C-alpha cells in the first residue's frame, strides 16, 4: 500500500509539488474564510473556531469604526488609482515613444521609489508635510498624496513593459490605412495597451488598500482599514474583519477569472465578424 502510494507520488511529482505550493499559498485565505463564520461570542479565545454563525456576514459593520475605516481605504484606493494610472500611463508613453534629454535619468528616478524602504519614505514624507506646515492637517489628503506618489512608479513600470512590447509598425500601418492620430490611438494603440493599464490599475488599488507603514506615519487622526485591523489586533480582532478579507479575496478572484475568460475568448477568435 505504502509502496504503491510512493510510486504514485514519484510518477506525479510535479503535480504533487504544484498542489502543495497551492495549498501553502491558499491556506491562509481558507482560514480567513472559515473564521468569517466563527461565532466568537461563545469564548474569549478568538483564534479558534467555536461555532458556525451567519451573524458576521449579516452584520459586517458591527465593530465600531471598521466600516468607516473601510470606506476611507476604498476612497483613497480608488482616487489614488485613477490619478496614478492616468499620470503613470502618460509618463510611460512619453518614456517609450519619445527620445528626450534626461530620459534615462527619468527612468531611474521612477524606479527609485519602489526600491526605497517604506519606513524611509513614510518618515521623509511626514517630515516634508510638517516642514511645509501641514503638520496639523495630516489625514485623508496627505494619505492620498502619499499613495498617488508611490503608485505612479508601479503604474509606469507596468504600462511601459506592455507598451515596449507593442510593434510600432502597427501604428504606422493604421496611419497608412487612413486612420488619423486620434483614430490610431483609440482603434489600435489603446486596445492593445489596455490590458497593461488594467493590470497597473489593479496593482495600484491593492497597493494603496494594503499600505500600512507610509499611511500610519502620515494619517494624523484618520484611520484606514489596515490601521483599524492593526489597532484591533492589539486587543481582539472582530470576526467581521474576516468577512471583509474574504470579500476582498472573492472580488480579486472574480476579476482574475473574468480577465482569463475574456482573453481565452479573444484567443479563440469567437468575436463576430463586424
Positions in the binding site for other proteins (CB under 8 A): 167, 169-170, 172-180, 183, 187-188, 191-192, 266-267, 269, 271-274
| CB 164 to other proteins: min, Å | 16
Q: Which is nearer to other proteins, 42 or 168 (CB)?
A: 168
Torsion from C-alpha of 183, 185, 190, 196, nearest 10 degrees: 170
Q: What are phi and psi of 50, to 5 degrees?
A: -100, -65
* Nearest-approach distance from CB 265 to other proteins, in angstroms: 11
To other proteins, the closest distance from the beta carbon of 192 in angstroms equals 6
Using the minimum distance from each CB to other proteins, give the nearer residue, 15 or 258: 258
Nearer to other proteins, 96 or 121 (CB): 96
CB of 173 to other proteins, least distance (A): 4
Q: Residue 132 or 271: which CB sits closer to other proteins?
A: 271
Phi then psi for residue 237, to 5 deg, are: -70, 125
Instruction: Please identify, using beta-carbon distances, which residue of 48 and 169 lies nearer to other proteins.
Output: 169
CB of 165 to other proteins, least distance (A): 11
The answer to whether the CB of 133 falls within 8 A of the CB of 125 is no
Q: Rank residues 171 and 211 by Cβ distance to other proteins and give the closer one.
A: 171
**Shortest reach from residue 175's CB to other proteins, in Å:** 4
Contact status, residue 192 vs residue 166, Cβ threshold 8 Å? yes
Closest approach, Cβ 273 to other proteins, in A, equals 5
Residue number, 52 or 186, with CB nearest to other proteins: 186
Number of alpha carbons in the 13 Å side-chain half-sphere of residue 193: 30
Amino acid at each position: 500500500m505504502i509502496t504503491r502510494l510512493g510510486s504514485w507520488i514519484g510518477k506525479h511529482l510535479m503535480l504533487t509539488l504544484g498542489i502543495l505550493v497551492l495549498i501553502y499559498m491558499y491556506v491562509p485565505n481558507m482560514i480567513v474564510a472559515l473564521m468569517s463564520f466563527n461565532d466568537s461570542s461563545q469564548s474569549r479565545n478568538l483564534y479558534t473556531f467555536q461555532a458556525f454563525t451567519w451573524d458576521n456576514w449579516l452584520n459586517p459593520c458591527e465593530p465600531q469604526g471598521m466600516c468607516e475605516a473601510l470606506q476611507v481605504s476604498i476612497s483613497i484606493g480608488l482616487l489614488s488609482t485613477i490619478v496614478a494610472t492616468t499620470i503613470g500611463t502618460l509618463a510611460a508613453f512619453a518614456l517609450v515613444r519619445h527620445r528626450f534629454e534626461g530620459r534615462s535619468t527619468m527612468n531611474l528616478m521612477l524606479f527609485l521609489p519602489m526600491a526605497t524602504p517604506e519606513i524611509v519614505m513614510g518618515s521623509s514624507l511626514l517630515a516634508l508635510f510638517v516642514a511645509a506646515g501641514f503638520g496639523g492637517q495630516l489625514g485623508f489628503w496627505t494619505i492620498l498624496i502619499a499613495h498617488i506618489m508611490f503608485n505612479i512608479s508601479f503604474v509606469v513600470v507596468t504600462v511601459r513593459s506592455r507598451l515596449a512590447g507593442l510593434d510600432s509598425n502597427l501604428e504606422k500601418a493604421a496611419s497608412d490605412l487612413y486612420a488619423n492620430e486620434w483614430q490610431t490611438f483609440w482603434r489600435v494603440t489603446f486596445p492593445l495597451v489596455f490590458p497593461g493599464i488594467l493590470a497597473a490599475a489593479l496593482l495600484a488599488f491593492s497597493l494603496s488598500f494594503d499600505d500600512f507603514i507610509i499611511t500610519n506615519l502620515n494619517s494624523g487622526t484618520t484611520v484606514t482599514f489596515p490601521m483599524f485591523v492593526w489597532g484591533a489586533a492589539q486587543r481582539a480582532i472582530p470576526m467581521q474583519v474576516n468577512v471583509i478579507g474574504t470579500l476582498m479575496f472573492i472580488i480579486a478572484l472574480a476579476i482574475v477569472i473574468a480577465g482569463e475568460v475574456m482573453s481565452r475568448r479573444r484567443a479563440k477568435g469567437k468575436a463576430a465578424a463586424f
